[in-house]
Amino acid sequence: MSDTSESTSRKSFEDIVYLWWTRLHEETQLAGDTYPVRRKDAAELRRATTKEQVLLLPAYHNLRLLLLQEDIDVDRSKQTEQLISLAMICPHIRHDDRESRSVGHAMGRISESERPAVSELRFLKLLRCESHDALTTQLRRTIPLTGKKLPVKKLIYDVLHWDARIRQQWAETYYDCTVLS
């Protein structure tokens, strides 16, 4: 019986990364915080331009240890690559956009200038990304165009599962905003 309650109380990969992201932008440390995250960690991650630089930062290892603490194995090469990508992308986001249906929707939303937050050309570059390296680079360039506001949990999920289905969803919701407006 304790196994069942223990497994239901476990957090998902996305939940842990989201919690870590929220703590990147807070000054307070939670009581009993085993792996504290400091605001300067976000700045260091934003300045990191290579995987190797990220691997040398305590904030990345704090995230990794938080995941391991929940018995989520992140030491396989694909998951390590995804985790590094998230550690390089998430600190660039300042505000969680809970109103957008998807990342594509947030990027296609019409701004005050009556244009999408992200131009169609830049958005298509994102959709063409095949590797996590390319996706990371393009997202880091695109996030400032959104006012540093994206649906964080959806972005985390999409980066982890980046494939044709995610690209299609982004495209549909981006063009829903731009064509219907």
Domain range summary for the chain, segments of one domain joined by +: 2-92, 95-180
Q: Is 22 helix (H, G, I), strand (E, B) or coil?
A: helix
Strand partners, 150: 96
Q: What is the value of pTM for the model shown?
A: 0.86
Tokens of 151: 């649906």
pLDDT tens per residue across all 181 residues of the chain? 444 444 456 788 999 999 999 988 875 555 555 556 667 899 999 999 999 999 999 999 999 988 988 888 776 767 889 999 999 999 999 999 999 989 999 999 987 778 999 999 999 999 999 999 999 999 999 999 999 999 999 999 999 999 999 999 999 999 998 776 5
List, for residues 159-177, the tens digit of each pLDDT value. Answer: 999 999 999 999 999 999 8
List, for residues 69-79, the tens digit of each pLDDT value. Answer: 888 877 676 78
Residue 36 burial (CB count, 10 A): 13
Beta strands 95-96; 149-150: pairing state: parallel
